[in-house]
Amino acid sequence: MTAGVGPRDRTQRVYLHIGVPKSGTSFIQATLRDNKQELMQHGVLFPNRHKGDMFQSALDVIGHHERWGLPKERVEGRWAQMCGRVGLWPGDAVISSEFFCGATPAQIRGALRHLADAEVHVVVTARDLARQLPAEWQEGIKHGRNVSFTQFRRRILAPRRQHPHARRFWHYQDLPAVLARWAAEVGEERVHLVTCPPPGAEPDVLWRRFCSVVGIEPDWVALPEGSANVSLGVVEIDVLRRVNRAARRQRGERLDSRMVKQHLVREVLRHTGSPRAVTPPDVLPTLDTLTGDWKQQIRGHRYDVVGDLADLDPVRLPAADLDPDKIPPRQSLRVSSTAIVTLLTQLQQSLEDNAELRRELSARRPLWRRAGGRARRTLHRVLRR
């Protein structure tokens, strides 16, 4: 039995953190993952076995494995396995994936069947729409899109929301709708809305709010250093858009988004730095009206609100000196050149590492041959008996 955990003396609580996307989810997940052992010592299970476990378990529920280039066999049964580990744990558990935010009512019911013996609480983190718009635009570029920021805003804010970009955005970001889908299955009193603090707040505010819901003492853990999710500046996004266009022309398809995010974004473009994209002032009145309606709807329910609904009011940030859709070619060229040098340096290091491995394998091959010969002779003697 893990230290600090005794036999279960009450119904197990499972806290299912479902997003919404771009609301500090990567930060919370990194904190839980990095402090998994410490949390277990205090009786709280974060039931992932490896970094992609939560991701693949969520895909098993929502069925988008093909979009992420994974075969069905890779994700099938993963959610049941994770819930099985939770069921064997004598204390409470926290599960976190923003993909659950997009689950349909049928998918929600299917997921909850595997947690039927637990008291399930749903935790939704949310951030103001003025910061969500550029964040979701950037995330789409990381996944191979080439749409300009202006086009993206117009599609998202079109009254009928017919464009695929709009349908996807609002399916995940329409806060009252997300809360209602899950509340219909677990009850409003078990739905917790945690608001992200405004810019300038201490970095641990969101974590402390989250902890107050899931029964974790904030000081049990060490917060991760740096950002868990890389945010690019407008010049870097322009370079990535150009890369996406070139990939479509040369390959006829998008680049693998995992390779783009892990290598080009995280290891190369994040280090070149330029101003961040900001929602322009002319869009803010529309977002104000929408947010006011959201807050009124939320107040009409029995959701547990942690933080302040005023945190959802669209934040006014100073406009960047650069228009995200009109980046001077000279600046994109500078970032592109820096990126190429970095990638070539990494390639050279990889080639040198591979050459060293080949030399080691060649040196050991005679030993393996002798060992293989002895094994074959031993096997022949055994078979002749």
pLDDT digits (tens, 9 = 90+) for 262-283: 788 888 887 667 899 999 999 9
68 — pLDDT class (breaks 50, 70, 90): confident
Q: Residue 359 CB: number of other CB atoms within 10 A?
A: 10
The predicted model gives 150-178 an average pLDDT of: 96
Whether residue 318 contacts residue 278, with contact meaning beta carbons closer than 8 Å, is answered with yes
For 96, phi then psi, to 5°, come to: -140, 120
* Dihedral (CA of 142, 146, 149, 151) sign: negative
| Angle, alpha carbons 127-168-135 (nearest 5°) | 40
Task: Give yes or no for residue 7 having a pLDDT over 90.
Answer: no
3-state secondary structure 211-224: HHHHCCCHHHCCCC
Task: Give yes or no for residue 2 having a pLDDT over 50.
Answer: no
Task: Give yes or no for residue 229 having a pLDDT over 80.
Answer: no
Tokens of 355: 């050459």
The pLDDT assigned to 87 comes to 96
Can you tell me the distance from the alpha carbon of 274 to that of 26, in angstroms, rounded to the nearest whole number?
22
* Dihedral (CA of 211, 83, 53, 42) sign: positive
Q: What is the mean pLDDT of the chain?
A: 90
> Which range has highest mean pLDDT (71-85, 198-212, 287-301)?
287-301
User: What's the distance, Cα to Cα, between the start and end of the chain in Å?
Assistant: 48
| Angle, alpha carbons 156-159-160 (nearest 5°) | 90
Cα-to-chain-centroid distance, residue 24: 9
Tokens of 119: 């008291």
Can you tell me the distance from the alpha carbon of 93 to that of 85, in angstroms, rounded to the nearest whole number?
10
223 — pLDDT class (breaks 50, 70, 90): very high
| Angle, alpha carbons 47-52-57 (nearest 5°) | 60
Can you tell me the distance from the alpha carbon of 31 to that of 21, in angstroms, rounded to the nearest whole number?
16
The predicted model gives 107-122 an average pLDDT of: 97
The predicted model gives 291-310 an average pLDDT of: 98
Instruction: Quickly list H helices, the chain.
Output: 25-34, 36-41, 53-62, 72-75, 78-88, 105-113, 129-142, 149-157, 164-173, 175-186, 205-214, 234-251, 257-259, 284-299, 329-384
The predicted model gives 113-135 an average pLDDT of: 97
Q: What is the pLDDT of residues 9-65, one digit of tens each?
A: 689 999 999 999 999 999 999 999 999 999 999 999 999 988 789 999 999 999 877
The pLDDT assigned to 70 comes to 81
pTM above 0.75, yes or no: yes
Contacts of 226 (CB under 8 A, 6+ apart): none
The pLDDT assigned to 18 comes to 98
Q: What is the pLDDT of residues 311-359, one digit of tens each?
A: 999 999 988 788 999 999 999 999 999 889 988 998 899 999 998 888 8
Can you tell me the distance from the alpha carbon of 90 to that of 237, in angstroms, rounded to the nearest whole number?
46
Task: Give yes or no for residue 5 having a pLDDT over 70.
Answer: no
The pLDDT assigned to 252 comes to 74
* DSSP for 120-163, written as a single string: EEEEEEE--HHHHHHHHHHHHHHTT----HHHHHHHHH-TT--S
The predicted model gives 226-248 an average pLDDT of: 87
Per DSSP, what are the bridge partners of residue 126?
195
Burial of residue 277 (CB within 10 Å: 0-12, 13-18, 19+) is: buried
Task: Give yes or no for residue 6 having a pLDDT over 60.
Answer: no
